[in-house]
Structure 1
Amino acid sequence: MFESHTLKIHKDTPVFDGQFSNRCYSESVKTAFVDFRAKAIRSGRYSPENDQILTEQWSRIIVHLPYAFQGKRMFPDVFRHDRRHLPMWEKIIEEIGMEPFPEDFDDTPEGIEEFEKANDAYRRLISKTEEFKVFSESRIEKTQRASSLIGNQYTGSIFLALMSTMESDFKDGVEMQGKRVGLCGYGSGAKAKVFEGIVQPEWKEVASQFKLFERLNNRTPLDKDVYERLHRGSQKDSVLSPSAEFALIAIGGEGVLEGQRKYAWYA
């Protein structure tokens, strides 16, 4: 299956290392959270001595989801960082043992890789604790419902996760007005940003119009032949007639505009 009818002997493509990618994601989001926490302290938004920890203040945690369960698999690092000073962390240490630290390993490429593997394993242990499971179920689970029905997504994932939890809370009759929501954005260049929002009084009116899960349930399945034509770029007509939405109408060929996507609005 090819992107065009011309078979190319060589094509430059990025090399993907899934494990390394997950490490970059986890470390970048944790670093961004540390930065957000420091800014919150400086601005007076948060007092470590007097306030509940930030991740407990956030009723929902919206993260970049390239796949549905990325959030709950990668968030243990932030969960750990925000709780190391609490008595409950001693209980977790008793259950899963002490965490690995870089200084406990040789300062060599092999030692660094050994530490990373140990840290990956410890992250998985955290995710299996009852404390993290309860945390994830109450704050992350609703955000990944729509993603689990869609699959891979990138630039739109944080918005889809927000829609997913807002519509789910609306349908469940959960009152979210005034609640704080944490958001964690991430880009494949290992750059992350953590910020927060407060749910506004009009949230129910907005969420009731999403009809996100209704639209997902009414999708049109593609057979193999149609999918391959779309992948190759040989499908000339839209599978569905666009209505009240932007639609892709062209992709740039070779040259300066190669890969450029052009969209148009269809009323």
Structure 2
Amino acid sequence: MTVTANPRLFAIDPKVGVATESVGDFFKPRRSYSKTDLLQKAAHLLGQSLSDEEARALLQSSGHPFWNDSEITVDIFKEEPVFNGPYSNACYQHRIFEALDHLRAQKGPIDILKEWNHLIFHLPYAYQGRRMITEAWVTWTLHSASRQKLLDQLKLPQPEQGSEDWAPFVKACSKTQLYLDFVNNTIERGERASSRIGNMYTASIFMSLLSLLRIHFEEDNSIQGDTVAFFAYGSGSKSKVFTGTIQPGWHKVIQKQNVFNTLDQRKAIDFKTYESLHKKEINTPIIHSKHLYLDRIGNSGTEHGFRFYVIQ
């Protein structure tokens, strides 16, 4: 996708709602270890002991670049994240609705159920969006012309929001046909690619947009002029909410972007291979086709640490 002054696929509204709060809901940790301590621990594994002074002397006399580098610590950057699932979900909800409030402050009242035809979410897993939006949908619906229809389907009285009966009420609402229709019409098409990919963080809202547009193209639906709302989220935490309009020539663009055909061409690997990749035990490509891949990392002179890529 490219950004142009005259978009053919999707025109973005310049007004954007944003929200931030400094939290540690999900992060990839950075950890530092003293070289002196590492050397002492290594000596202990070999049945030896080193004083601090002896360890420092060995470091200074070592000819190995790992030990005699000028930095006294070794920094480890882990790919495995540290996170608290329920807390991260709460942060996700708080930020996207704070960003939505910020957007409303700029644009005025928004009747989401009437004005927004499609909802696109940051989807670390396929159904994150629909689960985060349920309670908000209940509130929007109870303040809309569909309120009585919802209550008729529930056959339950409406409790006070925040009361002990509210959470069970919201859960019951999520099982109604009215809610299922809302999900199927506005959210579900954007989830299908994600449901085939699994956990995904980078660019997940763009993948969701491709999924939405491709499915509508294959179903031959007319969505020109429809409004799409995006709920973007990043741990740490920050959110953006913005909208855009599907352009008249959208189908000519998306017919060349068959994301599902690309997914069909993936190579399945067994669990042992997956573990080996995760542990960085495999140093050669497992797919031999024309791809850009890391060939080697330099280990001497000015090339030490330099990454060499090839197309093969």
How does the TM-score come out when normalised to structure 2?
0.63
1:91-170 alignment runs, 5 A limit: 92=150, 95=154, 96=156, 97-101=158-162, 121-170=168-217
Q: Which stretch shifts more, 223-232 or 90-99?
A: 90-99
Counterpart residue number, 1:5: none
Does 1:68 pair with 2:126?
Answer: yes
Higher Rg:
2
**Structure 1 position 122, deviation (Å):** 4.8
**Which whole-Å CA distance do the structure 2 matches of 1:24 and 1:181 have between them?**
23
**Structure 1 position 144, deviation (Å):** 0.3
User: Gaps spanning 5+ residues in structure 1: where?
Assistant: 1-7, 42-46, 105-114, 253-259
**Which whole-Å CA distance do the structure 1 matches of 2:306 and 2:206 have between them?**
21
**Structure 1 position 167, deviation (Å):** 0.4
Counterpart residue number, 2:138: 80
**Which whole-Å CA distance do the structure 1 matches of 2:275 and 2:225 have between them?**
47
**Which whole-Å CA distance do the structure 1 matches of 2:130 and 2:175 have between them?**
10
Q: Secondary structure at the match of 1:198?
A: strand
Q: Secondary structure at the match of 2:117?
A: strand
Counterpart residue number, 1:23: 90
2:267 to 220, 224, 229: 220
**Which whole-Å CA distance do the structure 2 matches of 1:261 and 1:76 have between them?**
48
Aligned-pair identity in percent equals: 32
**Which whole-Å CA distance do the structure 1 matches of 2:142 and 2:236 have between them?**
28
Query: Residues 240 and 143 (structure 1 numbering): CA distance in 2 closer, same or farther, change over 3 Å?
Result: same
**Which whole-Å CA distance do the structure 2 matches of 1:175 and 1:188 have between them?**
35
Kindly report the root-mean-square deviation, in angstroms, between the aligned alpha carbons of the 2 structures: 3.4
Deviation digits for residues 187-240 of structure 1, max 9, x if unmatched? 112321110011112211221111211111121111123212210112111222
Identify, as 1 or 2, the structure richer in strand: 2
Q: Which amino acid aligns with 1:238?
A: P
**Which whole-Å CA distance do the structure 2 matches of 1:217 and 1:172 have between them?**
19
Assess if the C-alpha contact under 8 Å between 1:36 and 1:195 holds in 2.
yes
Query: Residues 120 and 17 (structure 1 numbering): CA distance in 2 closer, same or farther, change over 3 Å?
Result: farther
Q: Which amino acid aligns with 1:76?
A: T
Deviation digits for residues 110-136 of structure 1, max 9, x if unmatched? xxxxx8xx7655543332232221111
**Which whole-Å CA distance do the structure 2 matches of 1:261 and 1:85 have between them?**
59
Q: Secondary structure at the match of 1:233?
A: coil
Counterpart residue number, 1:177: 224
1:236 to 271, 280, 283: 283
**Structure 1 position 78, deviation (Å):** 3.1
Assess if the C-alpha contact under 8 Å between 1:242 and 1:266 holds in 2.
no
Q: Which stretch shifts more, 234-243 or 159-168?
A: 234-243
**Structure 1 position 155, deviation (Å):** 1.8
